[in-house]
Amino acid sequence: MGSKSAGRTLAEHAYAELRERIIDMRLPPGSAVDEESLMRELGVGRTPMREAVKRLESDRLLTVYPRRGTIISEVNIKDLRAISDARRVLEAFAARRAAEHVTDDDRVVLRGCLEELSHDGVRSNQDAMALDERIHRAIYATMRNTYVEATLIQYFSLSQRMWNFVLAGLAPITGNVHEHAELVNAIIDGDPERAAKLAEEHVTHFEDLVRAAL
């Protein structure tokens, strides 16, 4: 993913690239960010890089120290409960609202997610996580609340990073992802209460999976 995607500003390009590398552990927790090297690699100047760093600091994915420089935030398993508590509330809200506001166009997108789930192509944790994110993003878009969506994406990123940190090298965690089939169907059917309940259960199962791997 080294080239800048069409339509993205340089700051957005730098943010997306660094965010992905932090989440998938290519930039490991506690490591220093070599901004000069990354600027050359990503083909961006100092201003876009600083904007990206500022956004990532707001996302709690890195920390800027006045004299130490920029450091990738540590992964603290003690944060799992707090992150999960926040996600339980927000994911349930998003699923409920999505079921209330779902349109025919949304159903086309969501059925596409179901089709992906039905394929036998999710064979690795990386594939499972990518599909998991696409489904969550589709639900967030269907909810139609950009303020809640931005917060959800932040917490989802923290969960993804924790997932990578704890579960790297383990057997594929496709079961957790396939739980989405019931949730997506509840949203397509316009069943807010069932969608909210399933979304909350999904977050709890994720938390249990991480704890079992410790």
**By percentage, how much of the chain surpasses pLDDT 70?**
90
Separation CA 65–CA 108 (nearest Å): 46
Separation CA 205–CA 53 (nearest Å): 32
Q: How confident is the model at residue 118 (pLDDT cuts 50, 70, 90)?
A: confident
Which position has the higher pLDDT, 119 or 14?
Answer: 14
111: Cα within 13 Å, side-chain hemisphere? 9
What is the model's pLDDT at position 135?
95
Strand partners, 70: 64
b/e map 24-40, b = 16+ CB within 10 Å: eeebebeeebebeebbe
Number of H helices, E strands in the chain: 10, 2
Q: Where in the chain is the domain with CATH 1.10.10.10?
A: 10-72
Q: Give tens-digit pLDDT for 180-203.
A: 999 999 999 999 999 999 999 999
Token pair, residue 153, equals 């994406």
- CATH 1.10.10.10 describes domain 10-72: yes
Q: Where in the chain is the domain with CATH 1.20.120.530?
A: 77-213
Q: Give tens-digit pLDDT for 37-89.
A: 999 999 999 999 999 999 999 999 999 998 889 999 999 888 999 999 999 99
Q: What CATH number does domain 77-213 carry, 3.40.50.150, 3.50.50.60, 1.20.120.530, 1.10.760.10?
A: 1.20.120.530
What is the model's pLDDT at position 57?
96
Instruction: Please check the confidence at residue 4 and state whether its pLDDT lies above 60.
Output: no
What is the model's pLDDT at position 6?
45
For residue 2, give the 3-state DSSP assignment. Answer: coil
